[in-house]
Chain A
Amino acid sequence: MRINPRFINRFVRMGLNVQAYFTVGILIIIVAIIFFKGFPHVNFAFIFSFPEDMGREGGIFPSIVGTIQLALLSILLATPLGLGTAVFLTEYTKESLFTKFIRFGVESLAGIPSILYGLFGFIFFVIKLKMGWSLLAGVLTMTIMILPTIIRTSEEAIRAVPRQLRIVSYSLSASKWETIKKVVIPAAIPGILTGIMLSIGRAVGETAAIIFTMGSSLRLPLSLMDSGRTMAVHFYILAREGISMEKAYGTAVVLVLSILLINILAYYIMNKAIARYS
């Protein structure tokens, strides 16, 4: 029996619709549960005061600061390093065993579970280099962790820049570096920003690697050598050790909102960049 193609068409379309709604639905349910459980506990004092009694009372101010410090510093370190690697791989090397080796290494790094980064950071930065549990050890570990993402996304973005644009730039008497700086990287900015956003998300959401390297001090980290905790770590400890589920969900709400804020901000910057260079 031959099935009517129009029927198949409708069936497939319905199926794809269901899948799309299912994906978005799950996201909405997760966010809804977090907001439902956590939102009543979020207020001005919660955000701007210090935790008391291990986090059972008070707010989460130090962990908000810790999150920002960690994400910002690791992005500031990883972006130039990753972008530089990507430019090197795309513009200054021909496809060879050497570049294949680097690319293989990058991909392998991307696949390593974060707990192993944590362990490495603990052994190398915390113990061997005697940094102790510190913001610095956390930032360095996180930098290594997000580097593969930045390299891969930047590399793809740079590769997508049409060759003709480079040729035009050269024909207007630009050197290779001037072409990269003035034409290639600006044209690749949206892609590069995507990588940075993904990386911020990873840094903000990471727990295992952070606990091993930055520790979990409740104090406000005032120097690179201070220990501290991020919101994700704070949430994990509050929930895991049964300290306070209310405060845990409150933290989660702030975490989700800040990720949302970062995304909006990144889109804003991206649109600015696109508007300027198109």
Chain B
Amino acid sequence: MDTKIATDRLRLSFGTTEVLKSVTIKVHRNTITGFMGPSGSGKSTLISVINRMIDFENNVKIEGDATIDGTSILDGSINPIELRRRVGTVFAVPIPLPRSIFENIAYGPRLKGTSDRTTLHHIVEDSLKKAFLWDEVKDRLGTSALKLSGGQQQRLCLARTLALKPEIILLDEPCSGLDPISTAKIEDALSELKSEYTIILVSNNTKQIARISDFSAFFYLGELIEYDTTEKVFTAPAEAKTEDYIQGKFG
């Protein structure tokens, strides 16, 4: 299969604490890859390397390499701002910007210089439809995004990311605070989206990973313990640690 994102012996430490210990992984194009593992396993840190949001942390030391389409995203020639247009991120807690629904979605496109109202409207509608939110908000695009429910806010955040027209979408425990119905809507959206995007879903919820991901990676204390197709990982894991985690013996 075609590799979209790869890391090569990636090591990362905050000060003296090593958070990622030589992680090598290849994430395939147009798939959903689940990153699972107990907290402190380094999965969120790994995605913050891929979108270079790690730049906003202090005392970070990185060794090894990470690439998208074969090009390193860690060397000095890459512009992190342009990279974040290609790599969209949805965080655990939905954080709408304090402005209208429309302006939340239009934020990214406007930064790119799109100011034509009709074009923006198309982008907003398209993104909201892809995030399964359009029908619920189409009559009130001008109202504050803060007035939406938690589940709607998270889909708004997904739509906002889609409006960037990224190649990759990283989701960092996107459903951790959501009810089952909202979670199902997000999962449905992601399943539709994978034909166009490469998706990494970080989650502590193994059932969710099993439901929607094509590949699963299990991280533990900064190491990649196991990585294979979801079917393989969940039915016949190679490592005892993985099996224990999936069965809920720890984590």
Contacts and interface: CB of A to CB of B under 8 A. Distances in A.
A33 interface: no
A171 B98 contact: no
Contact of B95 (A164, A187, A277): A164
Interface stretch (B61-69, B83-91, B213-221, B222-230): B83-91
Interface in A164-198: 164-165, 167-175, 178, 182-183, 186-187
A186 B103 CA distance: 13
Nearest to A169: B97
Contacts of B95: 164-165, 167-168
Contacts of B82: 173
Contacts of B84: 170-173
Interface stretch (B105-113, B117-125, B185-193, B204-212): B105-113
B146 interface: yes
Determine which residue in B56, B93, B111 has the highest number of CB atoms from chain A within 10 A of its CB, and name it.
Answer: B111
B81 A172 contact: no
A278 interface: yes
B53 interface: yes
B129 to A, nearest CB: 19
Contacts, number: 59
Contact of B85 (A169, A173, A182): A173
B111 A277 contact: no
Given A171-B51, A172-B107, A277 B89 contact: no
Contacts of B32: none
Interface string B7-40: 0000000000000000000000000000000000
B44 to A, nearest CB: 13
A276 interface: yes
Contacts of B161: 171-172
Contacts of B112: 173
B93 A164 contact: yes
A171 B163 CA distance: 12
Nearest to B166: A173
B111 A172 contact: yes
Contacts of B81: 173-175
A165 B82 CA distance: 19
Interface residues of A, number: 19
B175 interface: no
B56 A182 contact: no
A169 to B, nearest CB: 7
B93 A183 contact: no
B98 A186 contact: yes
B99 interface: yes
B164 interface: yes
A168 B97 contact: yes
A169 B56 CA distance: 12
B183 interface: no
A277 B99 contact: yes
Contacts of A278: 98-99, 144, 146
Interface in B125-178: 144, 146, 157, 160-161, 164
A174 B91 contact: no
Given A165-B98, A182-B107, A186-B98, A172 B53 contact: no
Contacts of A183: 97
A185 to B, nearest CB: 12
Nearest to A277: B98
A97 B164 CA distance: 41
A172 B93 CA distance: 15
Contact of A276 (B51, B53, B91, B99): B99
A170 B56 contact: yes
A278 B53 CA distance: 25
Contacts of A168: 91, 95, 97, 157
B164 A172 contact: yes
Contacts of B111: 172-174, 178
A96 to B, nearest CB: 14
B108 A173 contact: yes
Contacts of B98: 165, 186-187, 277-278
B157 to A, nearest CB: 8
23 contacts: A167-B95, A169-B107, A170-B53, A171-B51, A171-B53, A171-B84, A171-B88, A171-B89, A171-B91, A172-B88, A172-B108, A172-B160, A172-B164, A173-B81, A173-B85, A173-B112, A174-B81, A175-B81, A178-B111, A182-B107, A186-B98, A187-B98, A278-B98
A-B complex: 4 closest residue pairs judged by Cβ atoms: A173-B84, A173-B85, A171-B89, A172-B108
Interface of B: 51, 53, 56, 81-82, 84-85, 88-89, 91, 93, 95, 97-99, 107-108, 111-112, 144, 146, 157, 160-161, 164
Given A168-B157, A175-B81, 6 more contacts: A171-B53, A172-B164, A173-B81, A173-B111, A183-B97, A278-B146
